[in-house]
């Protein structure tokens, strides 16, 4: 979700108007790819590690045009698992 309130080259992007839904709009796409690994510790206890890549891209309106804004996120998680 974006709220394109900005000033580019000294020009203000007008974000007030009836077309806005609370000021935020969906303007791009994203996705996620993740891998996990289970590391056995002792007995029924394991350590779980996950790594993810989350790429995305959006086109945001600016005064007299638009701006493409790519983004990539890298995420990591570590957790414990107890099997019953």
- What pTM does this model have? 0.63
Please write down the HEC assignment for all residues of the chain: CECCCCEECCEECCCCCCCCCCCCECCEEECCEEEEEEEEEECCEEEEEEEEEEEEEEEEEECCEEEEEEEEEEEEEEEEEECC
| Confidence band, pLDDT 50/70/90 cuts, at residue 15 | low
Q: Specify the pLDDT at position 18.
A: 46
- CA-based Rg of the chain, rounded to a whole angstrom? 21
pLDDT, tens digit, 9 for 90 and up, residues 23-61: 677 778 899 999 999 999 999 999 999 999 999 998 888
The CA angle 39-83-37, to the nearest 5 degrees, is: 25
Query: In the chain, what are the domain boundaries?
Result: 28-82
For the CA atoms of 13, 17, 23, 29, the dihedral, rounded to the nearest 10 degrees, stands at -70
């Amino acid at each position: 979700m974006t709220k394109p309130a900005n000033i580019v080259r000294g020009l203000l992007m007008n974000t007030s108007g009836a077309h806005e839904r609370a000021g935020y709009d969906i303007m791009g796409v994203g996705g996620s790819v993740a891998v996990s690994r289970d590391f056995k510790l002792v007995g029924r206890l394991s350590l779980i590690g996950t790594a993810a890549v989350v790429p995305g891209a959006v086109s945001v309106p600016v005064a007299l045009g638009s701006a493409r804004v790519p983004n990539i996120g890298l995420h990591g998680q570590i957790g414990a698992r107890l099997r019953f």
